Amino acid sequence: MQYKQSEFLIETIVPKDELIVSRTDLKGNITYANDTFTQISGYEVDELIGKPHNCVRHPDMPKKVFEELWSSLEKNQSWSGVIKNLRKDKGFYWVHAQINVVKKDGKIVEYKSIRTPISFKDKLKYQKLYDNIKKENNEKTRVVSYI
């Protein structure tokens, strides 16, 4: 997917008192999205249901972060970390994500993610960290700096 330099510049701030909640099937397809998720991401709920959750993956995010996320989930472990997400309008928003496995009769049936806002200081810290990880792994880095 090709993006223009002018994209990805508008940040949506996640309100302090809001939780972004979603559920996915075992392949990462969205099965539930709360109202806060739709409002912050810019999608309607019917646009999200059935779509891979990575539809909100921002190109600034290193592949390594998601490899670790999926590795944890496949080991039946929770994962938590900071993620920069992509809005439908190509803007972005930062969150701290906690992803847990959901079991029924001892078998994993889905994943549940709860996301909360992070501080401006953490946004700067993680943008720099993710830029460095992408550089170390020879991933294409973004043209416009957030910092």
CATH number at residue 106: 3.30.450.20
Geometric angle at alpha carbon 134, from 101 and 50, rounded to 5°: 40
- What is the predicted pLDDT for the residue at 4? 46
Q: How many domains does the chain have?
A: 1
The answer to whether residue 141 is domain-embedded is no
Considering the entire predicted model, what is its pTM? 0.86
Q: What are 101's two structure tokens?
A: 């496995």
- What is the predicted pLDDT for the residue at 11? 92
pLDDT(36) > 60: yes
- What is the predicted pLDDT for the residue at 141? 60
The answer to whether residue 147 is domain-embedded is no
What is the average per-residue pLDDT within 48-52? 97
- List C-alpha distances in Å: 139 to 2, 58, 64, 142: 15, 13, 10, 10
Closest CA to 128 of 114, 140, 146, 115: 146
28, 115, 7, 44 alpha-carbon torsion, rounded to 10°: 70
The answer to whether residue 12 is domain-embedded is no
Query: What's the domain range around 75?
Result: 20-134
The answer to whether residue 79 is domain-embedded is yes
Separation of alpha carbons 98 and 95, rounded Å? 10
The answer to whether residue 31 is domain-embedded is yes
pLDDT(133) > 80: yes
- Which of 51-55, 94-98, 115-119, 134-138 has the weakest average pLDDT? 134-138
The answer to whether residue 15 is domain-embedded is no
The answer to whether residue 13 is domain-embedded is no
pLDDT(40) > 70: yes
The answer to whether residue 4 is domain-embedded is no
pLDDT(82) > 80: yes
- List C-alpha distances in Å: 64 to 80, 101, 139: 14, 20, 10
Q: What are 113's two structure tokens?
A: 């993610």
